[in-house]
Structure 1
C-alpha cells in the first residue's frame, strides 16, 4: 500500500514507526547468512533502502508457475527456515518493547512474517527464492503465521478471482504446504480454527484502522475486501472437518 521505487538492485520505501524493529530483524537474518530476505542498505530522510529480492513476482489469480505444487512446497520450506532462524531473535531482543504493526496474544515462538503469501515472494528456476514486504512482522506462534500462509496458498478463498480449484484440490494443496513445512499433527488439528481466528483479526484490524482515518484501509473496505474475508471465514467453518481430515491423512 506504500509507494515503492526500484532502482538497480535496491528498493526505496517510506518508513513507519515499526521500521527500525524490522531492520533489527533483517540485520539479524543477515548476520546468520540467511538467504531469501532483503538486506538493509540505509535509513534516512524518512525513507528506507533495501536490497531487491530478485525473481518473478505474481498476484492473484494464481496462474502458471506460481500455482505449481513445486513452488508451493518451496514456499513452505522457506517459511520454515525463516521461523527457525527467528527463534534466536526472540531470545536476544526485547520484542515486547519494540513497535510492530500487528500484535498477537499467543506465546512467542518465532517472528511471524504476517503476510507470507504468493504476492510477497519471488521465484527463480521454479522455486521461491525469497520473501519481501516485512511490514507485518511480529512475534507469535508458528501456527498463527502458517494459518494465513496456508489460507493464501491453498487458497481457501471464495472470491471468483482469488479462488483456485475445488475444495478437494485446496485441501490437498494445504496438506502439501504443511508436509513441506513439517508441521506436526497438533498444529494441523488447530490450523482451520487458527485460520478463522487470523482472518477475523484481519477484519477487525482493517475496520479499526479505517475508523482511525487510514484512507488505504477505507479504500480496501469500500472495494469489498472485508466482505470477502467474512465469506472466507464462513467457508472455512463450514468445511473444517473435510479440510482437517485431509491435513492429517
Structure 2
C-alpha cells in the first residue's frame, strides 16, 4: 500500500498508462461473471442498472503495489461490487490523473499535472469507446459525489474505518476536487474528443 507523497515513478505517464491498462484487463477478465443473487457486498449503495462487471471501486495509488519487476498489482478489494466499467474508470482517472487541486497534487507527490492531457492518456490506454469518453467527466463528478455521500453513510452506520475518515477531515479534499472539476470541465471534455 502506497504512502504519500508518492515516489517520482508513481506520477509518470508510464504508471498512468499501466494502471489504465491493468484496470481494463481486470474488467475484461471477469466480464460476463454473474455473482450469486444472495451475494453480500460492502458498497456505498445498490448496484446501478447498467451493471457490467465487478468493479474495484477504489483503484487509487494507495491500493496499487509496484513490484520489483515493474509490474503493478491491484489490492484491497473490500469495496468491490457490481457496477459499470465507466464508474470504475472514473474513480481511477480521478485519483491517477489526478483531478486534484494544485495544492493537493503537490502534497500527494505530483507537480502540477497537465490534467487534460493525462485524462486523455488514461482514456486512450483503457480503450474507452466514444460514448464513454463523452460522459467520462460527468461520471467522474458523479463518482466524487457518490464517494463523499457513501463515506458519510458508512460513517453514520458506525463503520469504524469510515468514521475515522470523516473525523480526520478527509472529505475536504474531494470537495475541492469537485470545484476544480467544475472549473476545468470544458477543457477536460475537449481533451477527450
- Band of TM-score, shorter chain: 0.7 to 0.9
Structure whose alpha-carbon radius of gyration is higher: 1
| Consecutive unaligned residues in structure 1, runs of 5 or more | 1-56
| Cα distance, 1:246–1:191 mapped onto 2, change above 3 Å | same
Please show how residues 91-170 of structure 1 align to structure 2 within 5 Å: 93-94=35-36, 96-102=37-43, 103=45, 104-124=47-67, 127-158=70-101, 159=104, 160-162=106-108, 164-166=110-112, 169-170=114-115
State yes or no: 1:194 paired with 2:139.
yes
TM superposition score normalised by structure 2: 0.88
Deviates more, 1:146-155 or 1:199-208: 199-208
State the distance in 1 between where 2:4 and 2:191 align.
24
Q: Determine whether 1:233 maps to 2:144.
A: no
The answer to whether the 8 Å contact 2:21/2:125 transfers is yes
Structure-2 separation of matches of 1:164 and 1:243: 18
Distance 1:237 1:198 in 2: 14
Listed one character per residue, the Cα deviations across residues 41-100 of structure 1 (whole Å, up to 9, x for unaligned) are xxxxxxxxxxxxxxxx5333333111111121111111111101111313xx33x43111
Q: 2:56, 2:88 within 8 Å by CA — same for their partners in 1? A: yes
Q: Which of 80, 87, 94 is matched with 2:24 structurally?
A: 80
- RMSD between aligned alpha carbons? 1.9
Aligned-partner Cα distance in 2 for 1:62–1:231:
20
Return structure 1 stretches of 4+ with deviation > 4 angstroms: none
**Pair 140,193 (structure 1): closer, same or farther in 2 beyond 3 Å:** same
> Do the aligned residues in 2 keep the contact of 1:117 with 1:153 (CA within 8 Å)?
yes
TM-score by length of structure 1 reads: 0.69
Deviation at 1:199, TM superposition (A): 1.1
Give 5+ residue unaligned stretches, structure 2.
Answer: none
How much does 1:235 deviate? 1.2
Q: Provide the C-alpha distance between the structure 1 equivalents of 2:186 and 2:109, rounded to a whole number of angstroms.
A: 20
